Structure 1
Amino acid sequence: MNPTVATGSAQLDVSKHPPQLRIAGDWTLAGYVALERDIARVKTQLRDDTPIDMDGLGALDTAGASLLVELLGARRLGELARSSPGMPASRQALLRTVGEALDSYCKPAPPARPSSIADILERIGVSMETVWKRTVQLLGFIGLTLETLARSLPRPRRWRITPLVAHMEQTGLDAVPIVAMLTFMVGAVVAFLGSTVLADFGATIYTVDLIGFSFLREFGVLLTAILMAGRTASAFTAQIGSMKANEEIDAIRAMGLDPVELLVLPRVMALLISMPMLTFVAMMAGLIGGGVVCALTLGITPLMFISLLKSDIGVQHFLVGMVKAPVFAFLIGVIGCLEGFKVAGSAQSVGTHTTSSVVQSIFVVILVDALAALFFMEMGW
């Protein structure tokens, strides 16, 4: 075979009048790049009435047929295939099939340019939907926990005293040093800042009232709850999540036991008992820290500090702070356990849900504390 014929080509013969397009050689994938260049060169000179000579066409595949469609158009190529009696039927069918496919092909519309406002609104919508789903899950799990607690309380034989005491030690006794140290330092800072600001008004004596109000009503229980959210809720999620990843919870269900009764109730009850005690420790440590600063910088003796607290701060402020402690404890414990049950079978999932439990616990605690502050203020308590 002549090598010039074997190599596919598309040449316009201008020696004839009118000029004639000669298609020759092998139109296959091997010569695709060279054929594309020929098509780009010839296509600009090609007219609708230009005669076509396809007698020299050699081998043909779908790649070559698509190039012929690009050069001649699907409709004209189909007419040429039908009007060429010497062309094999298989080649005619190939040209018609490729031509019809490319003729009916619709190029996809270019993707819409992203809009910053649309992206922001989409993210807000997704976030709101996520918050709604998590709220529904939390309310459902709270109901399940309360229902399990109501079934277990009348049956003392079902109480799990050993894990309850163990969790009380972990969540309560082991947390006393960090709670006391943190609230002591915060009390000292509040006293120092309060005395600095009130000194401009000649009212440094009211620093004692500031410390008493802030720690008995808010800081004592709020700081304790935030510490428990970071320390205890994460521990609950990691413990239950590891059991979930190791399929231990499935084994508990297979033995006919209730995972909520076995794993959730001892942890929640331990936190319910420990949290008020830790809150009391936090209140006392904050008052002591403030009293130390008052004694060192303001000359207010400990006896005077206690006397001012007794005369200016009513017991209702202490009760307001203590009432919130069990509510915070229940929410922290339930959120920590719920996130543990959501863990999938991987270490990454354990870390993700542990972080989520801490964030959710702190958010819920601050939200409930704000609502409680508004309620108690409106009630005049």
Structure 2
Amino acid sequence: MYDNFKLLNYSNSLVSPELYARHQSKLFTGNVVNGLLVIPKTGLIVTLPTGNGFIPYGSGATASNREFSLVVDFDITLDTADASNPRIDLIVIYADLAVTLPGGTPGVANLDGPGVVKATFVKGTPNASPVEPTVGAIQTKIGAANPYIIVAEVRVDALVTTIAANKITDRRVLVGPVRLSAGTVNTATIADANVTTAKIADASVTYTKMNYATIPLGQLSFNSYGTAGGVVVTGTLVVPFNKFTTNSSTQITQSGGQNMLLSQAGWYELLFNANVTDGAGTLQYVPYIQYSTDSTTWYEASPLLHNITAINARGSSMATDIFLPANTYVRAVIFTTGALRFAAASAFTEPQMSLTVKRIG
């Protein structure tokens, strides 16, 4: 009546590899331990490099993994590209359960299960908007009962004869420990002193996981930075920034290529820099910043007139601290009395125009 209990380590017990694999399948998630990152080779050939992985199968109490190793790089040749439309192929690794290994003494024919695990591609259907093959298409290619993992998808564009690296998308799921269920960890039992920044990976703390309402004003700074250059201004120009960087994914964002959108109310430091590289010495220009709550009606923040006859006025800036309500747009504007160029020159290697928005309270 107790035969359904299985014991790994006991005198004279003959243990199957399955029992070891079943325990590991409960401890880890993912399917690739290392390697197996598909790369292009030549023509329509892609290479599956050496590595180690798991192929999950089964469910419930008997769920387990087929554990495998690839010890020599493996090449896969894709079918010829379609003449008109792209397609998406999948690179899969699977266990061919139809393979029968001989029993008895371990030898070349059965040691480490040779020939059971295989790799192939599953061809997608050419289409103007291609999608990857379905589960049904995969099982038709590899066998209906065979478990598998997907390690890459390859976009085969129309008429191509070579697969570029940027056409291969990594689909591996790297092995890691099973995540604990919600409520498993009682934060009340964790001492504050035990949680240090050295123990928290940089990439694991993102802005989307922060509760900004609980952060005191002045304790967190959001910075956004837009730059532009290579433009000639005659009259008034709203600066079209061609580069935008931010340390916040949600608090300060780019809107429409010219505006920055501030999602939270607060005090902000606004700084606009401009460098004139070419223009008549009698001309004047005004760099200034505008803000708006509807992106239609704009208000000016401290414009400052510059005459470029003075050498130090060719590089100028204006800055202001201002309280702005939530969902306010900010932009940089240049007004000139004639044609002035803001572009790269030997003396001006820095960005020719830049707008920095920083929350300070």
Shorter-chain TM-score: which interval? under 0.3
Give the TM-score of the pair, scaled to structure 1. 0.18
Give the TM-score of the pair, scaled to structure 2. 0.18
**Bigger Rg, which one:** 1
Higher helix content, 1 or 2:
1
